[in-house]
């Protein structure tokens, strides 16, 4: 297995996440798509770390996991607050300005 | 005699390679399939379970890449903590209700699709540029094992980012509790905007009175 296969896999998964972010209107699904993108980046970082014999990639992947965990905690809190106000988690319901 | 040993050794190596290729493609297709289900389905529960499965499959790549520690972290943090958090969060929402997802601006869609195509081209071309990247600052020591090796770097060179990450997680936890647990006794969704305003004004006055 070479580095390229892992990077291509990472690209494909990242694109799936990107399609999700662009296509969905459900805010919960947007969070899921963000998780997918973060994981795709992790695969790429760890693959490079292995093929260059360097630990920095794994360090960054580790910190990305920590950031993702805190993002979920704050994001879900905000989402619950939004749901209490608007009674929906549709992305368009946040829109308050007409333009 | 030595020749035969060498041949056997090569066969073992080839067998391992074979295993790695099979595992890579198996898990690659499984991961892509699971994430496609997450992105495409309309049912939030399906999306959640497919995402959890995809996370576990991704940890297999970390094991294949000799990053055992990250593989374990992936399973514990993502499927253990993050997915459980999402499952709890989903109890608050009416997730069965379908959300109308209609794109009513085709030109925007074209623009975004074009941008994705551009990003994909750049990302496929990036490995070619990446070939010339130099070797690293913190080399891997195969004699230590991955977990020890990571610990060594994490608690020397990356100690301050590690501490900051710890504080950040604490802040996120407290923030999540405060945001989600705010006024659990009243439901804002059952009140109209005017009622909410009146309620919040009353709340403000009572807190002023207490002072």
Higher model confidence: residue B7 or residue B132? B7
Q: Could you report the per-residue pLDDT of A8-54, keeping only the tens digit for each?
A: 899 889 988 988 888 888 888 899 999 999 999 999 999 988 888 88
Which of B45, B125, B179 is the best residue to mutate to test the A interface, defined by the most A CB atoms within 10 Å of its own CB?
B179
Backbone angles phi, psi at B12, to 5 degrees: -60, -45
- Smallest CA–CA separation between B124 and chain A, in Å? 7
Whether the per-residue pLDDT at B61 is higher than 70: the answer is yes
Give me the interface pTM, i.e. the ipTM: 0.90
- For residue A62, the model assigns a pLDDT of 92
- For residue B104, the model assigns a pLDDT of 65
Q: Could you report the per-residue pLDDT of A56-96, keeping only the tens digit for each?
A: 889 999 999 999 999 998 988 888 888 877 777 777 777 77
Which of B83-97, B156-170, B180-194 shows the lowest mean pLDDT across its residues? B180-194
Nearest to A25 among B20, B74, B101 (CB): B101
Sign of the CA dihedral with B154 first, then B85, B65, and A8 last:
negative
Q: A44: closest CA among A82, A85, A3? A: A3
Q: Could you report the per-residue pLDDT of B79-132, keeping only the tens digit for each?
A: 888 888 888 888 777 665 566 666 667 777 778 888 888 887 787 777 665 555
Q: What's the token pair of residue B39?
A: 């992105």
- For residue B72, the model assigns a pLDDT of 93
Report the first-to-last Cα separation within chain B, whole angstroms.
92
> Which chain B residues are Cβ-neighbours of A5 within 8 angstroms?
24
On the 0-12 / 13-18 / 19+ scale of CB atoms within 10 A, B55 is buried
What band does B32 get if pLDDT is binned at 50, 70 and 90? very high
What band does B14 get if pLDDT is binned at 50, 70 and 90? low
Higher model confidence: residue B103 or residue B173? B173
How open is the CA angle B123-B27-B29, to the nearest 5 degrees? 65
> Which chain A residues are Cβ-neighbours of B55 within 8 angstroms?
35, 39
Q: Could you report the per-residue pLDDT of B197-207, keeping only the tens digit for each?
A: 787 788 778 77
Mark yes or no for CB contact B187/A80 under 8 Å.
Answer: no
- For residue B9, the model assigns a pLDDT of 61
Nearest to B62 among A46, A87, A88 (CB): A46
């Amino acid at each position: 297995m070479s580095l390229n296969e892992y990077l291509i896999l990472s690209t494909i998964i990242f694109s799936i996440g990107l399609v999700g972010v662009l296509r969905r209107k459900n805010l919960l699904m947007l969070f899921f798509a963000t998780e997918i993108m973060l994981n795709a980046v992790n695969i790429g970082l760890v693959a490079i770390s292995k093929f260059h014999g360097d630990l920095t990639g794994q360090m960054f992947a580790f910190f990305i996991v920590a950031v993702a965990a805190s993002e979920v905690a704050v994001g879900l809190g905000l989402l619950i607050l939004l749901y209490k106000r608007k009674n929906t988690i549709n992305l368009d319901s946040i829109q308050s300005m007409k333009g | 005699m030595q020749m035969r040993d060498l041949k056997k050794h090569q066969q073992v190596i080839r067998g391992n390679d074979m295993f790695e290729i099979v595992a890579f493609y198996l898990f690659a297709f499984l991961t892509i399939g699971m994430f496609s289900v997450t992105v495409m389905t309309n049912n939030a529960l399906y999306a959640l379970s497919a995402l959890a499965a995809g996370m576990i499959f991704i940890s297999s790549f970390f094991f294949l890449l000799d990053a055992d520690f990250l593989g374990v972290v992936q399973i514990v943090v993502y499927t253990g903590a993050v997915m459980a958090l999402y499952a709890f969060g989903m109890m608050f929402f009416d997730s069965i209700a379908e959300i109308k997802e209609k794109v009513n601006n085709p030109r925007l869609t074209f623009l975004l699709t074009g941008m994705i195509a551009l990003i994909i081209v750049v990302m496929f071309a990036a490995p070619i540029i990446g070939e010339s990247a130099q070797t690293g600052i913190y080399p891997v020591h195969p004699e230590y094992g991955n977990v020890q090796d990571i610990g060594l770097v994490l608690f020397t060179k990356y100690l301050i980012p590690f501490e900051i990450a710890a504080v950040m997680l604490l802040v996120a936890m407290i923030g999540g509790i405060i945001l989600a647990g705010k006024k659990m006794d009243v439901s804002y969704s059952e009140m109209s905007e005017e009622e909410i305003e009146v309620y919040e004004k009353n709340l403000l006055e009572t807190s002023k009175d207490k002072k």
